Amino acid sequence: MISRKLSLLLPVLLLAACAVAPRPADTSVRFETASVAELPQWQQQAAGESLTALQQSCKAVAKKPEWSGVCRTAAAVPANDAAAVRRFFETQFQAWKLRDGERDSGLITGYYEPLLNGSRVKTARTPYPLYGVPADLLTLDVPPAERAKSVLVARRGSGNKLTLRAGATVAGPGEVEVRPADFPSDGRTNKLRGRLVGQRLRPYYTRAEIEQGQGVGSAPVLAWVENPVELFFLQVQGSGRIQLEDGSFLRVGYAEQNGYAYQSIGRWLVDRGELTLADASMQGIQDWIKAHPGRQQELFNVNPSYVFFKPLAHAEGGPLGTLGVPLTDGYSIAVDPRYIPLGAPVYLSTTWPLSNQPLVRLVHAQDTGGAIRGPIRADFFWGFGTEAGMYAGRMKQPGSLWILLPKGMKPSQAI
């Protein structure tokens, strides 16, 4: 979810690569009430798939008191009765239209689950490693108030986690000195990711350094794949499937990241005059790489972020989003959870990629992404494989969003 997952110039995002930052004091964001029955094109909605996606969300939110009754009712609604599904949403939910100042429209992009060819062993056909988390990558959660301090002290915890020693400024034996100013920050996460140099935590290696072999000597190789370009975009998406030589599939998802914010390679190409804004889609970038194979690594190194993966046990359905439930093709979105609560239905009004044809449906906030920032912002999950990738890579559409919350709940209570 990881994408996930970038800028306006590369609308394919990480599925689950970002922690949630505290909600900002943003007085420009407003929520306007609306009746579900009066949403645009509501009566034309064949909402069975949307009900199924809500039932997935309920696996995560049903224990919350405000959602328990809604989820019990949803379980009894027949998904093949469109009128009954619409009545369910009309009676159980209140819609809230998102506005940002005077704007009621924002950016809708797309992402997907890619398929790569690979092998469990390195071969001439599959020379590119898909890494798990390196043993020397350490993480430390630093609250914002502590981030402003010049020196912190941490202890080793379980696994690769460090924990702060409150009030300490001098590292004792077996402890770690941390200087927050050493580390990059994009304001969205309180987690530092680094490696030990003596007793001091230093930033982890950049993509360029990792591609040269630094750090990954302690990382397990989950698979070896054919195509380095597809591997790069797998990192952008945050999850995918590897088809192995015996025809079986290995499903992988985001496990950890090296601590650097994503830098858009599409923006870099446009800024240098290598591509036009219109051509800076995923497909356009792939075409540029084919035309400039000798500059492929130069382009990839523009993005210092590097994603490490883990095998996923579930074989059926979509990849797991940040909510912890499988995504539903065409009915799941990634959102900024500072404004849209994970698990909530969201009515989306946009258009198909590179088209004015309306794309209006009830989707569900089940994922987050590194570039999904702001109130009227969503990443639409197209599904698995090549066709889904074509739609996702071309989607940069304006759109409007309505959050659906159980009646009696206000957005301020849900976020």
What confidence tens digit (pLDDT) does each residue in 189-202 have?
A: 789 999 999 999 99
Q: Tokens 């590369």 — which residue?
A: 10
- Report the range of poorest mean pLDDT among 94-103, 235-244, 292-301: 235-244
User: Does residue 207 contact residue 258 with C-beta atoms inside 8 Å?
Assistant: yes
For the chain, give the percent of residues with pLDDT over 70: 92
For the chain, give the percent of residues with pLDDT over 90: 76
Are residues 146 and 117 part of one domain? no
Last residue of a domain, one of 153, 176, 203: 203
**pLDDT given for residue 188 in this prediction:** 66
Are residues 378 and 289 part of one domain? yes
**pLDDT given for residue 206 in this prediction:** 97
Average pLDDT over residues 64-91: 96
Are residues 309 and 373 part of one domain? yes
332-334 vs 397-406, strand pairing mode = unpaired
What is the C-alpha to C-alpha distance for residues 53 and 325, in angstroms, rounded to an integer?
Answer: 9
Average pLDDT over residues 121-140: 96
358-367 vs 332-334, strand pairing mode = parallel
Overall number of domains in the chain? 2
Q: What is the CATH number of the domain that holds 236?
A: 2.40.40.10
Are residues 339 and 301 part of one domain? yes
In a domain, 289, yes or no: yes
What is the C-alpha to C-alpha distance for residues 380 and 364, in angstroms, rounded to an integer?
Answer: 10
Range of the domain at 189: 138-203
What is the C-alpha to C-alpha distance for residues 152 and 184, in angstroms, rounded to an integer?
Answer: 16
What confidence tens digit (pLDDT) does each residue in 376-395 have?
A: 999 999 999 888 988 998 89
Please name which of 86, 97, 91, 90 lies closest in space to residue 45, comparing C-alpha atoms.
Answer: 86
**pLDDT given for residue 14 in this prediction:** 31
Average pLDDT over residues 40-61: 94
Are residues 331 and 186 part of one domain? no
Are residues 230 and 308 part of one domain? yes
Q: What are the beta bridge partners of residue 87?
A: none
Confidence check: pLDDT of 279 > 90: no
Confidence check: pLDDT of 121 > 60: yes
Confidence check: pLDDT of 18 > 60: no
Q: What are the beta bridge partners of residue 364?
A: 332, 345
Please name which of 375, 354, 356 lies closest in space to residue 365, comparing C-alpha atoms.
Answer: 375
Confidence check: pLDDT of 10 > 50: no
Q: What angle do CA 413, 319, 238 make, to 5 degrees?
A: 90
In a domain, 211, yes or no: no
Are residues 224 and 142 part of one domain? no
Last residue of a domain, one of 203, 237, 253: 203
Mean of all residue pLDDT scores within the chain: 89
What is the C-alpha to C-alpha distance for residues 414 and 339, in angstroms, rounded to an integer?
Answer: 9
In a domain, 104, yes or no: yes
User: Does residue 183 contact residue 282 with C-beta atoms inside 8 Å?
Assistant: no
Residue 338 C-alpha from the chain's centroid:
14
Confidence check: pLDDT of 25 > 60: no
In a domain, 192, yes or no: yes
In a domain, 213, yes or no: no
pLDDT band at residue 47 under the 50/70/90 scheme = confident
**pLDDT given for residue 319 in this prediction:** 87
pLDDT band at residue 320 under the 50/70/90 scheme = confident
In a domain, 59, yes or no: yes
What is the C-alpha to C-alpha distance for residues 350 and 376, in angstroms, rounded to an integer?
Answer: 12
Eight-state DSSP code of residue 97? E
In a domain, 214, yes or no: no
